[in-house]
Structure 1
Amino acid sequence: MKTISSQRRLVLQGLAAGAAVAALPALAAEERTLRIGYQKFNTLNILKGSGNLEQALQPLGWKVKWFEFAAGPQLTEALNGDAIDFGHAADTPSAFANAAGVNAVYLAAEQPYPKGIGIFVAQDSPIRSVKELKGKKVALGRGWNVQYLLVRALEEAGLSYSDIVPVYVTNAADVRATFQSGNVDAATLWDPYLAGQQVSTSPRILRDGAGLSSNRTFHLANPGFVDRNKNIIRILFAELKKTNAWAQSHPQETAALLAPQLGVDPKVLQLATERRNYTVVPIDAAIIAEQQQIVEVFYKLNLIKAQVQVKDKVYAEALL
């Protein structure tokens, strides 16, 4: 067997080293990408539309990639699978994710948005109250914010979740299709889909979240990513706070900005925007208690299998 000469061995080693060095920039570029998951109509949508986060991170050599999800459960699953680094979800999907062991932590929350969720019936429906939903079919999704609203609204009316017939669907489009087909007696949606339903068919809202559900949005992240990149998360929240302040004082302009991005009628977005408060806030004891109550409600219904402690899922260091 022939042996490789010392000179040839040095050449091969040099080529291998050069190839490794050449691969480093590509690897570094991949490591310097912030992957954000978002859903239609939320504060992250507005930040995405402004391009301000990209501008703020560019001097640090970071890029931003945005991934849209149909609802919170799909987004939290992407977090758990390390497909994204950061994202947002409503209160109930976040609680379900906690109980399912999803590898995500709470970083911050948005202000309450109780009028952005609703239980509704057709305008000509004989049903006039939540109490009259007993024995009726209601379209909703498992682990959605409106599922929690429905549970609480039934309790308020002296009923239990077992008194209705839940018709589970997987996304908001399925809710609308099922409702409009007449296959259910009532349905549940969240903004902007609720606003879209109101604009298109003028349904009767039996109950929104006022006094029953805060319907908060939570900002969640992979804890390992946060540990390694706290400065990046702080920049993200700094830009988000600026964007929220602008959106709060410019509801019409916000709707105009989001409409082409989301493919949603500006009238729909204006209705949804006008009943929302855009402010990102730290996770405090009161917010933790709200989330814990959601866990307890669904645990008692045997819809959540683990009585997780929400306080253990909050990132230890404030990043706002």
Structure 2
Amino acid sequence: MFPRPAPRLTRRGLATLGAATLLPGLRAQADTPLTVRIGFASIGVDNRPFAGGSPAGVAHAEGYLERAFADRPGLRLQWFFFKGAGPAVNEAFANDQLDIAIQGDLPQVVARATGLKTTMLLANGAHAPTYIGVPPTSTLTGVKDLKGRRVAIFRGTNNHLAIIKVLAANGLSERDLKVINMDAATSSAALVAGEIEATVGNYDVLQLVAKGLARILYSTKGDNPAFERQGTVIAREAFVTAQPEVTQRIVTEFVRAAHWSSQEENREALFAIWARSGRSPEIFREDLAGQTLKSRHTPLLDPFLIEQYRVQAQQAYEFGLIRRRVDITGWFDQRFITAALAELGLQDFWTPLGIDGQPVARG
């Protein structure tokens, strides 16, 4: 049922690649020790080392990278999962403890504002929704009713910026709420215990709804696309510079996983893989309801994604989430995603979106 990608580069394959290959000298590097540290800005239920909800989670769970590097016994892959989400990933990057990470937009912008040198490699988790959950018996009927209420928001995450924009669209700001900074697990427990009146999140909110412990007050689904959360695979600039061949292989495998994860016939198998995180397939089924797998799992660094990051950076500054403006020029490196799409023959599989969010005409 699940994808079983074979090692991409055999000896015969290497011989045929010739001078045009992007991965020269691999046989000479096979025994060279190298540890690649990859982090997820999320973690499974009860701290399980799985992260559902994205193609990168499939690549990890199904061993895509391990197979791809089977010809390099000296290369070791280490996977890390952060309960502290994006802010914790930033700390690991800053302390030189990660090389690559799967992370959302706001924490990436925050890190860039502090001078952290990173490179965007491909999209992962684009067009993701945010939910506001309230107790089933709550009398709140809409976003405007949150004024003066105790609301849990995990500050510094991409849900944080999303909800700020939603509040602004409803004539509110964070200051109009009694905001409590809580991670997903803590806010879920607090909502059930009646310690807060609403919580902002994604899978954690849906988990409560599935158990009958909450209802959705508001969802960004069907609302302004500018409220969507974006995510990418990001790397330390120094790692990309030092290890371009390794970076290319990793990007190619993530694109391979995105291709499998974008095919509608794999939808239920996809949810089953993600369920290893401890969240039921029902949660992911609900989260993706009404959206195509292709739109959510596109790896393209298209004009829409880049424009969204420009806007996110501007709004993060305007809302006081960062202290200095962020220039995104040169942040997105298209080389690796372009080469991966060509190698896998997927140049026309996903449709890029323009700045306005509309499909870009081909040709």
CA 1:72–1:153 in 2, change beyond 3 Å: closer, same or farther? Answer: same
1:109 aligns with 2:123: yes
User: Could you tell me how far 1:288 is from its partner in structure 2?
Assistant: 2.6
User: Could you tell me how far 1:202 is from its partner in structure 2?
Assistant: 4.2
Aligned counterpart, 1:19: none
1:194 aligns with 2:205: yes
Asked if the contact 2:58/2:274 (under 8 Å) is kept, the reply is yes
Q: AA paired with 1:197?
A: L
1:168 aligns with 2:177: no
- Superposed CA deviations along residues 209-231 of structure 1, whole A, max 9, x for unmatched, are 53142211111101111111112
Aligned counterpart, 1:264: 279
Q: What residue ranges of structure 1 are gaps of 5+ in the alignment? A: 1-24
Aligned counterpart, 2:102: 88
What aligned pairs does 1:139-154 form with structure 2 within 5 A after superposition? Answer: 139-154=152-167
User: Could you tell me how far 1:145 is from its partner in structure 2?
Assistant: 1.5
- Mapped to 1, the partners of 2:59 and 2:124 lie a distance apart of 14
Identity of aligned residues (%): 22
What aligned pairs does 1:214-229 form with structure 2 within 5 A after superposition? Answer: 214-229=228-243
- Superposed CA deviations along residues 181-236 of structure 1, whole A, max 9, x for unmatched, are 2122211012x323312212241232325314221111110111111111212211
1:60 aligns with 2:96: no
- Superposed CA deviations along residues 282-312 of structure 1, whole A, max 9, x for unmatched, are 4344323211222222222322111111224
- Mapped to 2, the partners of 1:156 and 1:284 lie a distance apart of 26
Number of aligned positions between the proteins = 288
**Could you tell me the TM-score, scaled by structure 2's length?**
0.73
Q: AA paired with 2:199?
A: A
Q: AA paired with 1:255?
A: F
- Mapped to 2, the partners of 1:273 and 1:251 lie a distance apart of 10
CA 1:99–1:248 in 2, change beyond 3 Å: closer, same or farther? Answer: same
- Superposed CA deviations along residues 8-52 of structure 1, whole A, max 9, x for unmatched, are xxxxxxxxxxxxxxxxx9x942xx222111232232221011112
Q: AA paired with 1:36?
A: I
- Mapped to 2, the partners of 1:271 and 1:284 lie a distance apart of 26
- Mapped to 2, the partners of 1:278 and 1:240 lie a distance apart of 14
1:35 aligns with 2:37: yes
**Could you tell me the TM-score, scaled by structure 1's length?**
0.82
- Mapped to 1, the partners of 2:326 and 2:157 lie a distance apart of 18
- Mapped to 1, the partners of 2:250 and 2:242 lie a distance apart of 15
Of stretches 280-289 and 121-130 in structure 1, the one that deviates more from structure 2 is 280-289
